[in-house]
Structure 1
Amino acid sequence: MPLIVCPKCNSEEINGTPQADSRLLIHCDDCGNEWLRGEARRDPGRPAVRTIDSLHAAFPTTLDVRPDVRERVALLASEFQLEHRGPLPEHEDYRAKYQQLFSREGLPDATPEDLLEFAVTDTVAGAGNMSGLTRAWKTQGAEKAAQKVRDSIEFLLHGPDSLRLEDRLTQLVDGKKVGFPSFNKEPLLTKVLCVAEPDRFLPILTYSSPTDGKKEIVKLVFELDLPPAEKVAWTIGRLAVWSNDLLRSLVGNDIPDLHQAARFLAWARTRPALSRT
């Protein structure tokens, strides 16, 4: 491909994806800008090229949930709140601690001990088996590993502003940016978002897993189908963020504390859906 620079940020860090109409969809890895290059071959039978904005507009919304399903979920939410206690104080303290540590001002002073504790503890949400991370941590040494983790968190939370959060998340997961590879996994990065923005992100750390990913919960509880993750359009970062925002909109009014909301969704997914009753 001849030298092309992004018209938005002048970066040369770009890649091109061939389209069905013979054009290239160009994506800037630095700012997320996308544009089409070349002449389109007219073929009315081919699907149109989909940009990030058109994909987001096509993603399911709360309006796609049937009214009878919404009514059933509201009744389940009322039942759940009668039987389960509210937010746990230790979770509130934990979130407050790491919200400060992950701030732009606090991150440079986050200690290796605090960063490793965040990765391996299950407070707020467990990110799975951390044996690979702890081995890499020991191999690289605590100070070097901690600096790479700070780099990962800095890129995810604090910029560049020209690159959308969902695309920064994708770049980290796909290994396209600096950081600590063993930390740059969807569950740990989503956990960072949960403590940095506790009023937006539910502590449900994977987009798709056999039963308890956001995709599966949306299907089991709200009877909506979400798209599978792929490399070009429905990237993991986009789907992880958009599915979180969908679930937040669906349950947030009834259960404003999102840790409690996540517990409710885990409970509600075991209740028979209307279509199966």
Structure 2
Amino acid sequence: MPLIACPQCHSEDINGTPQADSRLLIHCEDCGHEWLRGEARRDPGRPAVRTIDSLHAAFPTTLDVRPDVRERVAMLVSDFQLEHHGAPSAEVVDHRAKYQELFSRDGLKSASPDDLLEFALTDTVAGAGNMSGLTRAWKTQGADKAAQKVRDSIEFLLHGPESLRLEDRLTQLVDGKKVGFPSFNKEPLLTKVLCVAEPTRFLPILRYSAPTDGKKEIIKLVFELDLPPAEKVAWTIGRLAVWSNDLLRSLVGNDIPDLQQATRFLTWAKTRPVLSRS
């Protein structure tokens, strides 16, 4: 592809995806701007170009949940709230407050290696899985160097360029296209950062897709909606992780505002018998 620059930020870090009409959909890796290049071959039978806005518009919403499913879930919420009471534990509240401060623009500069490693390893908000690879890399690189790279990862995710959407910053980190600590730049750990930084938006469900406890699988089991599989070009992991979270937040957040408790409800509700489609 000939060397071209982004018209918004002038970066040359771009890629092109061939479209069905022979044009290229150009994506700037630095600011996220997308534009089409080339002449369109007229063919009304071809699918339309899928930009990030058109993809987001096509993503399922609360309106796609069948009325009978909504009624069933409302009953499950009532049953759950009768059996499960309580606000977040003091440990969770204190943990959130501590790391919200540490992950702020000013706080990151002074976040200690011990605090950053503790965040990765603790299950206080949610467990991110096996951390043996991260602990090995941490020891190999040394605490100070590893901690600075983790700060770089968190800085880009939470405070990166506003012209680049959060979901695309998440994708770039997971795909290894930005600096940071590779062992930290995993979907579960980065999602846990979002859960602490924005606890009223992000549920502590750390994977988009997992055998039984990913957001994709929970939405299917509880709300009977099918979500797309992740891919490299359009349905990227960052977009799907953020959009599926926001969908779940809309579906349960009004009835169970605390998202720690909402996650417990979803974990419980996915085991309930599904509706008959007779």
Q: TM-score range by the shorter chain?
A: over 0.9
Q: Give the 3-state SS of the residue equivalent to 2:202 in structure 1.
A: coil
Partner of 2:140: 139
Determine the C-alpha separation between the residues in 2 that align with 1:74 and 1:195.
27
Judge which range, 154-163 or 79-88, deviates more.
79-88
Cα shift at 1:79: 1.1
Q: Give the 3-state SS of the residue equivalent to 1:132 in structure 2.
A: helix
Partner of 2:30: 30
Cα shift at 1:62: 0.4
- For residues 161-199 of structure 1, give each alpha carbon's deviation from its aligned partner in whole angstroms, at most 9, with x where no partner exists: 110000000000000000000000000000000000000
Partner of 1:45: 45
- For residues 45-100 of structure 1, give each alpha carbon's deviation from its aligned partner in whole angstroms, at most 9, with x where no partner exists: 21111100000000000001111111111111111112123222211111111011
Partner of 2:128: 127
Partner of 1:84: 84
- For residues 94-113 of structure 1, give each alpha carbon's deviation from its aligned partner in whole angstroms, at most 9, with x where no partner exists: 11110110011101100000
Q: Matches of residues 196-207 of structure 1 in structure 2 within 5 Å?
A: 196-207=197-208
1:157 aligns with 2:158: yes
Judge which range, 82-91 or 252-261, deviates more.
82-91
Q: Give the 3-state SS of the residue equivalent to 2:26 in structure 1.
A: strand
Determine the C-alpha separation between the residues in 1 that align with 2:213 and 2:140.
32
Partner of 1:95: 96
1:109 aligns with 2:110: yes
Partner of 1:6: 6
Q: Give the 3-state SS of the residue equivalent to 2:276 in structure 1.
A: helix
Q: Give the 3-state SS of the residue equivalent to 1:275 in structure 2.
A: coil
- For residues 205-262 of structure 1, give each alpha carbon's deviation from its aligned partner in whole angstroms, at most 9, with x where no partner exists: 0000011000000000000000100000000000000000000000001000000001
Cα shift at 1:275: 3.3
Determine the C-alpha separation between the residues in 2 that align with 1:109 and 1:75.
47
Determine the C-alpha separation between the residues in 1 that align with 2:276 and 2:198.
34
Determine the C-alpha separation between the residues in 1 that align with 2:5 and 2:125.
42
Determine the C-alpha separation between the residues in 1 that align with 2:92 and 2:233.
36
Amino acid at match of 1:80: F
Determine the C-alpha separation between the residues in 2 that align with 1:7 and 1:73.
47
Q: Structure 2-normalised TM-score?
A: 0.98
Q: Structure 1-normalised TM-score?
A: 0.98
Determine the C-alpha separation between the residues in 2 that align with 1:212 and 1:257.
19
Amino acid at match of 1:121: T
Amino acid at match of 1:157: L
Determine the C-alpha separation between the residues in 1 that align with 2:75 and 2:118.
38
Judge which range, 74-83 or 249-258, deviates more.
74-83
Determine the C-alpha separation between the residues in 2 that align with 1:34 and 1:131.
38
Cα shift at 1:276: 6.8
Determine the C-alpha separation between the residues in 2 that align with 1:189 and 1:34.
24
* Structure 1 outlier segments of 4+, above 4 Å: none
Q: Give the 3-state SS of the residue equivalent to 2:35 in structure 1.
A: strand
User: In angstroms, what is the RMSD of aligned CA positions?
Assistant: 1.0
Partner of 2:172: 171
- Gaps of at least 5 residues in structure 2 are none
Amino acid at match of 2:219: V
Aligned residues: 277
- Gaps of at least 5 residues in structure 1 are none
Amino acid at match of 2:62: T
Partner of 2:246: 245
Determine the C-alpha separation between the residues in 1 that align with 2:142 and 2:83.
46
Q: Identity across aligned pairs (percent)?
A: 88
Partner of 2:18: 18
Judge which range, 68-77 or 206-215, deviates more.
68-77
